[in-house]
Structure 1
């Protein structure tokens, strides 16, 4: 998401850049993308792991256990979704068709930005007087994420219901029962996210991120600004569990620093964005980490442990590049 400009992330970041008095936020954001090194390195590592078939760290042990014993969950681990949902099997006598999965998923993905636009359209002042492209971006950034997700999921379920009923795969009662089983399986996720949001809110109310950022400004050397912005953004995102909150804090700190010290603004923006994604990627209280654990039906802490070596590897390479770029 962070490398795609035409979504809610891009609209949000552009809004933050405008708030810092930058007159051409879209150009700056696009120039910052090649300098947003962490997600680029993370994706390169994924490609390398796939091609080499060589995992490392806790993931290697988990892969070995799964291959040798068939256990996809370690002993003593608790999946982030109910065992009732995990144990659901394939219905006998029903041919496997990829479209029965892909069409509802693509429907949900397609409905997400539409939901953001529709829910945010009425929130933008004088939107009818704006050019269409700008109006859509502003609506995206003002839209309700929870409302968009709800509409997208309900639409996907509706499309899936039509598919399954027309093919006589499930009766309507079976579809309703399965839907409620899916909802019930997400209750542990909802509870954990509620606690994670509470911890993040307490951290923000205490001003942890802003205090850390202000503390670092006093001793920073211009050559180390990109590296420090990256590391500091990562620390704040890890501590608070939110990349978007980190962007708001650190862009307000990093852009004025870059302007005062003669540093490239796209470089500062890229370092902040990359650091925010890195910290959010590693944080056990981040909603994205929690959702990843849920989606893979894995133990939450096991997921954090297995992804950490890969995240740290990508971050180390990105940090090295920021250090070198700072002296160029």
Structure 2
């Protein structure tokens, strides 16, 4: 078993989270968390600084990290191109003037909500598209950026896990399949995952609560100052296809590259490669469309691409340090330390709720739901199969508990890449997004625990 530094393994993520909340400087907070972790392991300031540098540099040797960073940066280019070409003006004119579909705050928020439901290819793409498309309308109608970030975040990962025809599904099927191959459980991975998704309570409650806040007209505190004069789009017709072409090409290309990288099976496709290739392909296709339609002068396209990319460099820096602290928690055995008590202290009926809480704590501490799935899925399945009674009925529940707990912890964590990207998409302050989303995430988590307790007892 991997070495664990015990209770000390909790310190780096806790230090990063507390400092981020207090200082509102996420990059510095994450860096301090990384260095503190290596200090515990190296017992030397010099060693900690040296290993921190090595750890951060080594991230660039990982293909998925580089692809994720390129994706995050060049999404900024797509957003800039859409704005400069008149795509946003055209979309707003179409909704407000031509079709009169969005005329008030509630309808603007519902637009973001339904975009989030409709796009379940990849959580980052869901948040980014919902935020970029809806933000002019929500700004214009008085919705705070914090509420838009909440809508983007809570209809991203939950939807991706409810309809896992994407990289999320590929990961989960792989984790379950590895347990089938190891002989821990029997059955078809896709059937086992499908039976578990019925109990994905956090995703369900998260989506329902978003809809409730919209229909009930609940306002979120507005910490982010919004300059509105440049959002007066009503007099400009623009070109709606200048928005549709980049977004549609991005979505279609993700499917295409998932199919290609999966050798004909999208569920086996490489998610990071697919979004990386799709964002670059979308920029090329969009640029060609703008040239043909003369939406932008040729000499303005390349500067717009670089200008949009530059706006995302700070976000890329945050992602790098978030990945770095995730590596530190793996090296220190944070997940292992928190998980090894479960089998000894939990009654079988309490197992789903316990797995949910444990997964949530790990995801919150590490800032990654995927990492949590990877840590907890084998543990949860092994514990369920070693339970004296109710194995067949408990198994879907514990699989769902891992998924739900991972998504909840990821939502609540200020060092999560999905939290960061949702704040970026909505154009609001990261810590403000965390603070305003947390009460609703906790309510969804509370309801999830109740249902996991109820079904845990019914399963025995």
Q: For the superposition of Structure 1 and Structure 2, which TM-score range results when normalised by the shorter chain?
A: 0.7 to 0.9
**Is 1:4 aligned with 2:147?**
no
1:23 match: 187
What's the C-alpha RMSD, in Å, of the aligned pairs? 2.3
**Is 1:179 aligned with 2:333?**
no
**Is 1:167 aligned with 2:293?**
yes
- Among 357, 377, 384, the residue aligned to 1:258: 384
Distance in 2, matches of 1:327 and 1:93, equals 60
Distance in 2, matches of 1:274 and 1:198, equals 24
- Among 202, 205, 208, the residue aligned to 2:328: 202
Distance in 1, matches of 2:318 and 2:444, equals 27
1:144 to 1:30, Cα distance in 2 relative to 1, 3 A: closer
TM-score, normalised by the number of residues in structure 2: 0.59
Give the alignment of 1:1-328 within 5 angstroms. 1-21=160-180, 22-55=186-219, 59=220, 61-62=221-222, 71-72=225-226, 95-121=237-263, 135-138=265-268, 140=269, 143=270, 145=272, 147-261=273-387, 262-263=390-391, 264-328=394-458
How far off its partner does 1:98 sit?
A: 2.3
Q: Is the 8 A contact 2:242 2:295 kept in 1?
A: no
Distance in 2, matches of 1:179 and 1:308, equals 34
Consecutive unaligned residues of structure 2, counting only runs of 5 or more, are 1-159, 181-185
Distance in 1, matches of 2:300 and 2:436, equals 36
Distance in 2, matches of 1:51 and 1:144, equals 34
How far off its partner does 1:242 sit?
A: 1.0
1:15-66 CA-partner distances (Å, limit 9, x unpaired): 10111124311111111111011011000001111111124xxx2x22xx78
Q: Is the 8 A contact 1:94 1:169 kept in 2?
A: no
Secondary structure in structure 2 of the residue aligned to 1:35: coil
1:218-274 CA-partner distances (Å, limit 9, x unpaired): 211111101001110000011111111111111111111111223421111011100
How far off its partner does 1:10 sit?
A: 0.9
Distance in 1, matches of 2:369 and 2:379, equals 15
Distance in 2, matches of 1:89 and 1:52, equals 26
Tell me the matched-pair count.
Answer: 290
How far off its partner does 1:209 sit?
A: 0.6
Distance in 2, matches of 1:319 and 1:72, equals 37
Distance in 1, matches of 2:258 and 2:229, equals 34
